[in-house]
Structure 1
Amino acid sequence: MAYGYSLAVLVGVSLGVLVGQSTWALRGLDPLFQVLRTVPPLAWLPISLAGFRDGHPSAIFVIFITSIWPIIINTSIGIRNIPEDYRNVAKVIRLNGAEYFVKIMLPAAAPFIFSGLRIGVGLSWLAIIAAEMLIGGVGIGFFIWDAWNSSRISDIILALVYVGLVGYALDRIVAFVGRKVTRGTAAS
C-alpha cells in the first residue's frame, strides 16, 4: 500500500499543481479526471493484471489509480484558491518561480492538499483490501475472503474491526502530519 499511495501523492500533487495553475490544463485534463475517478477500484484490477501479469504490481497500480483522484482535485482547488493578495505580495517582492512555489503556493494550498491526502489514504486502504480478496494469497482481504469460504463469520467480524482500526490510524497519521506541516490549519 505504501508504494501505491506514495506514488499517488507524488504524481497527484504534481498534477494538481499543474491543473491548479493552468486554465488550459484544467480545461483539458479535468474532464478526463472526472471520468476516470468514477471507475470503481476493482474495475481496474483486470486491466492491471493483464498489463502487469503479476498480482503485486497490479495491487500497487490499483492503489495508485484509486487514491490519486482526490489528491489531484484537492490540490488543484487549493492552488486555484490562493488569495490574490498572496500573489500580489509575491510580485512586489519579486519572488522567482521556485521561491513562489515554496513560500507561497505550497503553504497556502497545504490544507487542501492534506484533505486530499486523507481521502486518498482511506481509498488506498479500501483498494488494497478489495484487491487482496480477488488476487488472493496474502493480506487481510484474502483472510476475509478465506474466512467467508470457510464460514468463519466471527473471523470476518474481527477482521472488519481490524480493517476499520487500521484505516482510522492511517487517517490520524495523515491528519497529524497535516497539522504539523500546516501549523494547525489543516482539517483534523
Structure 2
Amino acid sequence: MNTAVVAESVNATTEAPVAKVTAIAQGSTAAAAEKPKAPAQPGRPFSLRPFFLKVLPPLFGVFFLIVVWEIVAARNSGIPSPLTTWKAALELFADPFYDNGPNDQGIGWNVLASLKRVGLGFGMAALVGIPLGFIIGRFSFFSGMFNPIISLLKPVSPLAWLPIGLLVFKAADPAAIWAIFICSIWPMIINTAVGVQRVPQDYMNVARVLNLSEWKIVTKILFPSVLPYMLTGVRLAIGTAWLVIVAAEMLTGGVGIGFWVWDEWNNLNVPHIIIAIVVIGVVGLILEQMLVGIARAFTYEEVKS
C-alpha cells in the first residue's frame, strides 16, 4: 500500500472522533446557552417586626406606668399628676446648676455631689476588696480567717455603720463615704474569692510544673480567669452604693440628691420628689450599663444585664 494513502487513512480515522466530540461539546454549549435561566430567588422582604418588638414593649411599659400614675393622682389629691410633674421638671431642668448658697443649689450639683461620694467610697472598696478577695480565694488559711468575719458583718445594714462613721470622722461627708465603702466591699470580696477558687486545678498544676512566681500566677492565670466574677461583684457593688448614698444623705444632710429629696419633702414639694426619684433611677441605670459595657469589652462571656 502507498505510504500517502496510509497516512490519509490514519488522519481520517483520528480526526473523525475529535470532530464528533467537538460537535457534541459545541452542541451542549449551545443548548446550555439556549436553556432559559432559572428565575432569581426573590430577596427577603424588609421587615420592621424586630424593630417594633424591641421598641414597642418599653413604650407600652412607660405608657402603662403613666396611666396608673394618672389614676392614682386622680384619686389622691396629694399626688401630682404626670402633667403637673412634667411642667415642674421643665422649670427645674431649665437651670439645673444654679447656686444660691450651700442650702439652695440646683439638682445637677446635688447629683454630682452624690456621685463624688459614691466614687470615693466605691474606689476605696475596690482597692481593698479585690486584692483581699484574691488572697482569700488563693490561700485557705486566710479563707478560714476572714470567712467568719465576712459572714458576721455582711448582713448588717450599711446605715447601721453611719453612726460609727460620724463618731470616728466627726463629719457628715466622710461618714457617708464610709457607709458607701462598707456596703461596696462585700460583693467585691466574695465574688473575687469565688472566682479564684473556681480556677481549674489543671492551670495551677501547670504553673507549679513551670515553677512560676506568685506574681505571674496572679497576673497570667488567676486575673484573666477571675475577671468575669470580679466585674460581677463590681456591678453589684455600684448598684448597692447608689442605693445607700440616698439614704445616707437624708440622715447626714449637706449637698446631695438624698438631702435634696428630704429638703423638698420638708417644703412639701412632691413633684420635685418624684422628679428626683426618676433622676436617681436614670443615674443608677447609666452606671450599671457603663459597667456592663466594660464587662463585655474585657470578657469573652455574654454578660446579662
TM-score range, shorter chain: over 0.9
Q: Using the alignment, how far apart are the partners of 1:186 and 1:22 within structure 2?
A: 28
Give the partner amino acid of 2:281: G
CA 1:113–1:187: 2 relative to 1, 3 Å: farther
Residue of 138, 162, 166 corresponding to 2:255? 138
TM-score by length of 2: 0.59
Instruction: Give 1:117 deviation, angstroms.
Output: 0.3
Q: Using the alignment, how far apart are the partners of 2:232 and 2:264 within structure 1?
A: 34
**Equivalent residue runs for 1:49-128 within 5 Å:** 49-128=166-245
Instruction: Give 1:181 deviation, angstroms.
Output: 2.0
Gaps of 5+ in 2: 1-117
2:157: which partner in 1? Answer: 40
Q: Using the alignment, how far apart are the partners of 2:279 and 2:198 within structure 1?
A: 38
Instruction: Give 1:91 deviation, angstroms.
Output: 2.5
Aligned residues: 188
Give the partner amino acid of 1:98: W
Q: Using the alignment, how far apart are the partners of 1:139 and 1:169 within structure 2?
A: 18
What SS class does the counterpart of residue 156 from structure 2 fall into? coil
CA 1:111–1:187: 2 relative to 1, 3 Å: farther
Instruction: Give 1:182 deviation, angstroms.
Output: 2.0
Equivalent residues of 1:110, 1:186 under 8 A apart: no
Instruction: Give 1:185 deviation, angstroms.
Output: 5.2
TM-score by length of 1: 0.94
2:264: which partner in 1? Answer: 147
| CA deviations over 1:49-105 (Å, ceiling 9, x no partner) | 010001111111111011100100000000000011221222233322111111110
More helix by share: 1
**Residues 1:167 and 2:284 are matched in the alignment:** yes
Aligned sequence identity (%): 43
1:180: which partner in 2? Answer: 297
| CA deviations over 1:104-136 (Å, ceiling 9, x no partner) | 101101111011000001111112111111111
Equivalent residues of 1:41, 1:66 under 8 A apart: yes
1:17: which partner in 2? Answer: 134
Indicate the RMSD between aligned Cα atoms, in angstroms.
1.4
| CA deviations over 1:17-71 (Å, ceiling 9, x no partner) | 1110111211121111111111111111111001000111111111101110010
Q: Using the alignment, how far apart are the partners of 1:39 and 1:9 within structure 2?
A: 19
Please tell me whether Structure 1 or Structure 2 has the larger radius of gyration of its CA atoms: 2
What SS class does the counterpart of residue 138 from structure 1 fall into? coil
Q: Using the alignment, how far apart are the partners of 2:302 and 2:181 within structure 1?
A: 27
Q: Using the alignment, how far apart are the partners of 1:44 and 1:161 within structure 2?
A: 27
2:114: which partner in 1? Answer: none
What SS class does the counterpart of residue 137 from structure 2 fall into? helix
| CA deviations over 1:138-174 (Å, ceiling 9, x no partner) | 1100111111222222111111111111111111111
